[in-house]
Amino acid sequence: VNEAIEWMKQLTDFKLLWIEEPTHPHDALGHATISKALAPYGIGVATGEQCPNRIIFKQLLQSKGFQFCQIDSCRVGGVNENLATILMAHKFGIPVCPHAGGVGLCEYVQHLSMWDFVAVSGSMENRMTEYVHHLNEHFENAASAKAGRYLAPKQPGYCCHLKEESRKVYEFPNGTYWSQKQ
C-alpha cells in the first residue's frame, strides 16, 4: 500500500486519471488508504477486474476504496452479480468502467455498459469500456466500435459464440493448431 502511494506521488506531473489495482484486489482497506492518499493529487483508484463477487465490491464502495468500478463479466458469478455491482456503484456515485480486452471480454461487457447507460446511470461521463479488436475474426458476432463507442450488437445474448472453424483449430489438445506443435 505504502509503495503504491509513494510511486504514484512520483508520477503526479503526468496528471493520471487513475491507478489500476494498486494492491491486492480483495484488500478494501488498502485500496481506501491509497484512495485517500492520492485524492489531493487528483489521481483516482480503479479496481474490480479481479474482484470475485458483489460482497467485495460492496466493501470497496463502503470504504471509498475506488473512484472507478471495473467489473469483469467473467470474474463474478454471472449477469446478476454484475447487475448488482452496477446498481451498488450507482448508489455510491461511482462510474462503471468495465474491464475488457481479452478473448471475448469485449463481447461480454458491451451489454453491461449499455445497460448501465440506458437503465441505470443515463450518463457516459467518466465511463469508459476497454475495446480491443484483436481476435474478433474468431467470433460469430464480434463486438464493434465506431467513433470511440461500442455499437449495439445485432444479435441477442452475449454474442461471444466462437466460430466452428476457430474451435476446430484451437481446441486443446485436439485442435489442428496443437497437433502441428507435436
d(CA 14, CA 36): 19
d(CA 44, CA 142): 31
Q: Percentage of residues in the chain with pLDDT exceeding 70?
A: 99
pLDDT digits (tens, 9 = 90+) for 55-78: 999 999 999 999 999 999 888 888
Residue 179 makes CB contacts below 8 A (sequence gap 6+) with none
pLDDT digits (tens, 9 = 90+) for 30-44: 999 999 999 999 999
d(CA 23, CA 175): 38
Give the start-to-end residue ranges of the domains of the chain: 1-180
d(CA 79, CA 160): 14
Q: Using the predicted structure, report yes or no on whether residue 154 has a pLDDT greater than 90.
A: no
Residue with cell 461487457: 109
d(CA 70, CA 130): 10
Task: Report the mean per-residue pLDDT for the chain.
Answer: 92
Q: Is 1-180 a CATH 3.20.20.120 domain?
A: yes
Q: Using the predicted structure, report yes or no on whether residue 119 has a pLDDT greater than 70.
A: yes
